Structure 1
Amino acid sequence: MKVSHFLICSLLILSLPSMELLAQTPPGVEEFQEVESDMESFYVALSRLSLVTGAISGLLGGLRVYNNWQMGRHHIDVEVISWFGACLFLATVSFFLSGLYGVPLT
């Protein structure tokens, strides 16, 4: 009895590494990797869109402040700060997205 019990236990222990070779990858792993590469391209595009939107917003804000200055409105400090804050926020969002998802902007 002890010999057969010992043989069965030793066969089970020796067959454990070969069972790992027979195991299949879980379903959906390849799909997750494909979605990950797609999402990286989406986040790169979203980060660049945020930078472009910030640049356009800065140009429009500068033109609007210049126009108000030329029209004789000299108390434009709040408007300058708000446009600068918007551009700074959009630039920060771009770098935050690239850092959060580990996607370089280049």
Structure 2
Amino acid sequence: MKTSRKNPPVRYALSLTLALGLISTITWAQDGAAGIQEADSQVRSYFEPGTNLMYAIGAVLGLVGAVKVFQKWNAGDQDTGKVAAAWFGSCIFLVVVATVLQSFFGL
């Protein structure tokens, strides 16, 4: 009996494409370390201004929260404690996250 091979040119073309793709990947990977270093320096250059922005947003949230809590306190609302905990908790969380990220990345 004769064995039939299904589409041998397709297999060869697929093998050739895979081999060329692997060769091109290896060629591009030779410069990968320099690309990683460049990406690292770019991320580090944006990190400090981003952290300062998070601190500024936390300060603005603290001021807005203080005004909201003061208004509720003067109005005699019963849920003043909940509102204070929500506003100040959120701005403290934002500042803590910025500080932890800064210490985690060692900047």
TM-score by length of 2: 0.65
Whether 1:66 aligns to 2:70 is yes
CA–CA separation in structure 1 for the residues paired with 2:97 and 2:50: 10
2:50 to 28, 32, 46: 46
Deviation, structure 1 residue 69:
1.4
CA–CA separation in structure 1 for the residues paired with 2:31 and 2:79: 64
CA–CA separation in structure 1 for the residues paired with 2:106 and 2:53: 17
5 Å-filtered alignment, 1:21-32, equals: 26-32=30-36
Where does structure 2 lack aligned partners over 5 or more consecutive residues?
1-29
Deviation, structure 1 residue 96:
1.5
Q: Quote the RMSD (CA, aligned, Å).
A: 1.5
Overall identity of the aligned pairs, in % = 29
CA–CA separation in structure 1 for the residues paired with 2:74 and 2:82: 16
Letter in 2 for 1:83: W
TM-score by length of 1: 0.66
Where does structure 1 lack aligned partners over 5 or more consecutive residues?
1-25
Which has the higher relative contact order, 1 or 2, with Cα contacts under 8 A spaced 6 or more apart? 1
Deviation, structure 1 residue 74:
4.7
Deviation, structure 1 residue 29:
2.0
CA–CA separation in structure 2 for the residues paired with 1:99 and 1:38: 18
5 Å-filtered alignment, 1:11-22, equals: none
Deviation, structure 1 residue 75:
3.9
Aligned length: 78
